[in-house]
Amino acid sequence: EAGVVQSPRYKIIEKKQPVAFWCNPISGHNTLYWYLQNLGQGPELLIRYENEEAVDDSQLPKDRFSAERLKGVDSTLKIQPAELGDSAVYLCASSLGLSSSYNEQFFGPGTRLTVL
Amino acid sequence: AQTVTQSQPEMSVQEAETVTLSCTYDTSESNYYLFWYKQPPSRQMILVIRQEAYKQQNATENRFSVNFQKAAKSFSLKISDSQLGDTAMYFCAFMKPIISGTYKYIFGTGTRLKVLA
């Protein structure tokens, strides 16, 4: 079974440029998460989807970040415009959803963003 | 608010020895789940072990076991017979169902474990 797929793995951009990250969750997983992970820190939730609905986006900086999960499968996270402080690893994870009592999360390899 | 604290930023252990990583959390809830995740240098995070708060028995997965002390809000991870492949960042995580249809998932800041040959 394929795991969570993310692309690109690495991205280097100049500040004020837009950037987008793509995530394909494990087949059948209803819940999808986007996390921000700074160097030496734990993941911090940006947004969580249950199918195509964003049910927790309280930590998403909505002035520059946006996300979508059309058709409840793949998801895209966008930053426009990027700032120096956005340099981090962006992790995508998926889980079965509410049908699973403990909701184990499966993580993708992440996208390392460097903003110059 | 729930918090997860990992007080050991870095640890090292000799191969084949045993090491314990500590984690404490703060919550007023009685129903929740606790996890340990491993993130090797390649960065793909994987689940190591989980514990349901309502279970008194400590979870065990092969060489990995936990010491869950609910009253003390402590959830430590013990790795026995450490192997070089155990070198990674280890994150403690807390999950609490809030209301029907949503829940909260919080990660600690991690402990970097290095297994020495």
B35 → chain A, closest CA residue: A104
Question: Which one of A42, A45, A105 has the shortest CB-CB distance to B108?
Answer: A42
- pLDDT tens for B29-68 read 888 899 999 999 877 899 999 998 988 899 999 999 999 9
B8 touches chain A (CB under 8 A): no
Exposed, middle or buried, A87 (CB in 10 Å: 0-12/13-18/19+)?
middle
**A62 to chain B, closest Cα gap in Å:** 20
B44 touches chain A (CB under 8 A): yes
Mean pLDDT over all residues of chain B? 91
Task: Report pLDDT for B17.
Answer: 97
CB pairs under 8 A between A and B: 51
Distance CA A54, CA A37 (A): 20
Interchain proximity B33–A56, CB inside 8 Å: no
Task: Report pLDDT for A55.
Answer: 84
Q: Residue B100 pLDDT > 60, yes or no?
A: no
Contacts of B88 in chain A (CB under 8 A): none
B101 touches chain A (CB under 8 A): yes
Question: Which one of A42, A45, A103 has the shortest CB-CB distance to B110?
Answer: A42
Distance CA B15, CA B83 (A): 5
Sequence letter at residue B17: E
Distance CA B11, CA B18 (A): 12
β A88-95/A31-37 pair status: antiparallel
A38 → chain B, closest CA residue: B109
Dihedral of CA atoms A40, B85, B12, B62 in degrees, nearest 10, equals: 110
Q: Residue B99 pLDDT > 80, yes or no?
A: no
**Regions in chain A scoring below 70 on pLDDT:** 1, 98-102
Task: Report pLDDT for B15.
Answer: 97
Sequence letter at residue B68: F
ω before A109 within 30° of 0 (cis)?
no
Task: Report pLDDT for B44.
Answer: 87
Interchain proximity B108–A41, CB inside 8 Å: no
- pLDDT tens for A30-60 read 899 999 999 888 999 999 998 898 988 888 9
